[in-house]
Amino acid sequence: MQVVLPIEGRTLRNAYSLLSDPRDRGTYRIAVRLQDDSRGGSRYLHERVRVGDRLQIGVPSNLFALHSQARHHILVAGGIGITPFMAYLSELQAQGASFELHYAYRSGLTDAYASELRERLGERFRGYDAAAGQRLQCAELFSGKPLGSHLYVCGPQRLLDELKALAECHGWSAGRLHWEAFAAPEPGEPFTVELARSGQRLQVAGDHSLLEALEAAGVEVPNLCRGGVCGQCTTRYLSGAVEHRDHYLDEQQRSAALMPCVSRGGCSGTLLLDL
């Protein structure tokens, strides 16, 4: 769900996972970790928002749904990637479904809900505390699972990459692997972008995304996840080098479009957008 945050003369639109039970139609609950390098969103919610304040939100969207025909669900969370699974767990328990949760975290830093889930799920919960030297052995997740099992993963990119590679090695079809990246866009080199319809030129700093630069200039681009997975912000470009970082567009689509929430232009030359 996207939350609109008015911060210091600008507007941030950040997406957060809903934690509340899907059957509870009267409550939306989110979790926001205060980031040391916050660009304003988490700090605003932690320090400025109080009980009784009104916030503008978007319509909830499920980009990471449970597969209704799966015989067994394997949930893998890395750090704060646990948040989208909180609503899943309520649904799976209500259905009496077969599932297991693997949660890799570091105690005192990214262990939100670890104690609660251990007590709530019993043997279906497997926790791995990096501070205690415990490590999730990803290869073991594919051993001895019933046919029709589906794997869901949310966490840092390195965890996604490892599990995607292992799934391919074990012959799992792409349709059995469901994932969501849970990280802010990586910084890069500064670059220049030009808007073809207005002729406006923008400089995109290395620590800002193209989407953020467009928003700061008053250019509205539809968006939701801001992490390169939903496709909402897909934008045509007319010329220029592009560093594609999304997980949505295929190679053919990338020849004419990019996702400004994560992708960047080359450091030499100008990226010309169809805006």
CATH superfamily of 191-273: Beta-grasp domain (3.10.20.30)
What is the model's pTM?
0.82
- pLDDT tens digit string along 190-245? 999 999 999 999 999 998 999 999 988 989 899 888 888 889 999 999 999 999 99
* Placement of tokens 């928002």 in the chain: 49
Whole-number pLDDT of residue 23: 85
CA distance 153 to 137: 14
Low-confidence ranges of the chain (pLDDT < 50): none
Whole-number pLDDT of residue 211: 94
Residue ranges of domains in the chain:
2-57, 72-181, 191-273
Report the DSSP pairing between strands 2-7 and 99-105: unpaired
Question: What fold is seen in the domain 72-181?
Answer: Rossmann fold (3.40.50)
Whole-number pLDDT of residue 183: 63
Whole-number pLDDT of residue 184: 65
* DSSP secondary structure, 178-208, as one string: EEEE-SPPPP---EEEEETTT--EEEEPTTS
